[in-house]
Structure 1
Amino acid sequence: MARNLRAEVNLAAIRHNYQLAKSQAKMAKAVAIIKADAYGHGAVQVAKSLSGVADAFGVAAIEEALELREAGIEEPILLLEGFFETDELKLIIQHRLWSAIHSLEQIDRLEAFLDAHPTEGLCLWLKVDSGMHRLGIHPADFNQAWSRLQARSEVAELVVMSHFACADEPERQDTYKQIEAMSRCLEGVDAKVSLSNSAGVMHWPQAHYDWLRPGIMLYGASPFADGHALEASQQPAMTLTTQVIAIREVPAGDAVGYGASFVCDVPMRIGTLAVGYADGYSRHAPAGTPVVVNGQRTRIVGRVSMDMITIDLTHHADVQVGDSVELWGEQLSINEVAKYCNTIPYTLLSGLTRRVKRIYKDQ
């Protein structure tokens, strides 16, 4: 029996979730964020599925953008972190990429490059640090940065962007402060604006502006730890499954797995699954983390090891070797699994390794 660990990706669900994001701000456009190999779903396949639907795509770095161009993706592609080396500007122009600009030093390098290499039709996204303190122009430098870029005839379009630090925690005041900081920057400036990540799209309509940037919500997961009403309309895009590869009867008092950390308090039927942390399944998933077998929930027992985990089949006498087990997806929310693992769905999805076979469906 071949090791049958697979991530089934529903491309129709991703398109649905993209349209759901856009429906929250009907006049806005949306950059579909497909960095990190589309959060583990396969950037090329996701981009092809969204081609003709998405207004633009967003990636972290130029390598990701070039992979999409080589695959025939023609839509605009935004480099969310901008260029790292001046030489990348040649590729940005050649491949018609959009680039973030997040520092005065980048503007210096851009101006010097354009002085030596005249071009036209650049689309730049000027990033402002409205309070996250990761990337972005300081608000005090915004007018200078805006004026310098506006003065360049090579720049055909200039969008202003920022990024929220705490939009997924609606009870906090940080997002209000960031929105206010951006409002002050934008006084007297006629600009297209992009502030909303997935949490912004789902919960902060006052921040929708002209361009949305949905990421995790495209994949049917939620940025909110405590849930959100809009989640009921999302469709899970990935169902991760594996198979039972062994079953054994373990007497009371015996331990299961590394470290003998789980001890059977009664005689138990234990199933072994072909998945482990080398596949990207979290090693921090504790005993009790749910899985679904033959439509019924059960739990992990013992530690997650490199290639295998063990589950409790004591009350599942019908389960046999070869049966499929869902680790997250259509029957089990990845958000729930992430809570058990004390992490977020982003890390689970983007951490899947190449050992996990991706299977694509479009319905």
Structure 2
Amino acid sequence: MSERARAEIHPAALRHNLTVVRRLAPGRRVYAAVKADAYGHGVARLAGALADADGLAVASLAELQALRTAGLTQPTVLLSDVLDGDLSALTADPEAEPLIFSTAQFDRLAAIAAEYPRRVWIKLDTGMHRLGFAPEQAAGLHQRVAATPGLTLAGWMTHLGCADDPDDPMTTQQVTFFDSALASLPGHRSIANSAGICAWPRTHADLVRPGIMLYGGSPLLDRSAADLGLKPAMTLTAPLISCTEIAAGEPVGYGATWRAPETMPVGVVAIGYGDGYPRHAPSGTPASLDGAPTPLVGRVSMDMLTVDLRRAPDARVGDRVELWGTDVPADTVARAAGTIAYELFCRLTARVNFRVDQG
């Protein structure tokens, strides 16, 4: 056993998922959301596959610089503000496209625009109430961009709050607010996140911004990633370091929260919350060994967790258990643990060994 937890990254899967985006939203430009180091997958590891996107979207200047270091040169929307006040990385990058969502932010960009010309997006708050201007301010904002030397309007954005539920009326309401505010104004429109792409064709507008679906997670409450034709871009595995038989009624793990219902084999897997696996994943959370279900039993520890080997009787020390990937969808693990696949991907720690699948 040369390594503990291993996350194998599959660029071919991301390329496939990008083709699904283009099939669902034909003719639209695609800006791939790669914030949080490509949702924990690693921008550099996926650089070749991400080069097929028309543009990118990040949350910080550091993430923008990481893209450029990885050789990705597409137009890139900066979805958040420059929190440290240092605009040098922004001004040095002509393909960086700030998203303006506040007057103070607008003022800072306007002050440097004559020297550093910039394409900008404007965000409207259509009901999610995180960031953005009120829709009724759109006309005035357009006038200000037009009157500011060096600023060019790339377009308008908003963000959907409930698009993961195809029956929630909020999405229709948000699109109505957005369209009404911009009815007489020029500029490209961008509304759709992954859920919008998959379930709300009306949100496709001119440019879509896929995130979780690129990495093989489902953005919808009622459909799996497989239902949507998506493939996982990460497979997380770890080796068995012990296989033992315990008697009926014996406990496993801290707190003795789980007891064997019968005499049975139990395996110890070399991964825990110190590697980013969720500590709150309960007994019964799915895992797999060569396709055989090996669900968790007992509490997750810092360095290890335990699994039920009754359906994998030939398991041996050194065999690798899949925690999520092809056999065990990350969405399924996330539901069992009361979280979302986004968090599973982003919380993996430096103890995990990342590899890139060259296939």
Deviation at residue 228 of structure 1 after TM alignment: 5.4
Q: Can you list the C-alpha shifts for 1:256-295, whole angstroms capped at 9, x where unaligned?
A: 0000101112112110000101111111111011111122
The answer to whether 1:170 aligns with 2:166 is yes
Which residues in structure 2 correspond to 1:182-261 (within 5 Å)?
Answer: 182-227=178-223, 231-261=227-257
Q: How far is 1:230 from its partner? A: 7.3
For residue 105 of structure 1, what is the aligned residue in structure 2?
104
Contact 1:69 1:95 in 2 (8 A): no
TM-score (norm 1): 0.95
Contact 2:189-2:205 at 8 Å conserved across structures: yes
Q: Is the 8 A contact 2:282 2:299 kept in 1?
A: yes
Contact 2:4–2:239 (CA<8 Å) still a contact in 1?
A: yes
1:296 to 1:144, Cα distance in 2 relative to 1, 3 A: same
> Which residue pairs with 1:124 in the alignment?
120
2:315 corresponds to 1:319: yes
Report which stretch shifted further, 103-112 or 304-313. 103-112
Residues 152-178 of structure 1 deviation map (CA, whole Å, 9 limit, x = unaligned): 231234210000000001111111110
CA contact (8 A) 1:242 1:325 kept: yes
What SS class does the counterpart of residue 231 from structure 1 fall into? coil
Number of residues of Structure 1 aligned to a counterpart in Structure 2 = 358
Report the counterpart of residue 294 of structure 1 in structure 2.
290
Deviations along 1:129-170, one digit per CA (max 9) or x if unpaired, are 110000001122222112101222312342100000000011
Which deviations, in whole Å up to 9, do the C-alpha atoms of 1:53-110 show, x marking residues without a partner?
111111110110011212322111211114335532x321211211100012211222
In structure 1, how many angstroms separate the alpha carbons of the residues matched to 2:206 and 2:311? Answer: 53
Which residue is equivalent to 2:272? 276
Amino acid in the other structure paired with 1:13: A
3-state SS of 2:287 partner: strand
Aligned to 2:338: 342
Matched with 1:81 is 80
User: Aligned to 1:290, what secondary structure does the other structure show?
Assistant: coil
CA deviation after TM superposition for structure 1 residue 253, in Å: 1.9
SS at match of 1:252: coil
Paired with 1:230 and 1:197, the residues of 2 have a C-alpha distance of: 18
- The answer for unaligned runs of 5 or more in structure 2 is none
Task: Tell me by how many angstroms 1:20 deviates.
Answer: 1.2
Q: How does 1:137-148 map to 2 (within 5 A)?
A: 137-148=133-144
The match for 1:57 is: 56
The equivalent of 1:159 in structure 2 is 155
Contact 1:245–1:273 (8 Å) recurs in 2: yes
How far did 1:8 drift? 0.8
Matched residue, 1:11: 11
Alpha carbon RMSD of aligned pairs, Å?
1.6
Distance of 1:340 and 1:349 partners within structure 2: 15
Deviates most, 34-43 or 314-323? 314-323
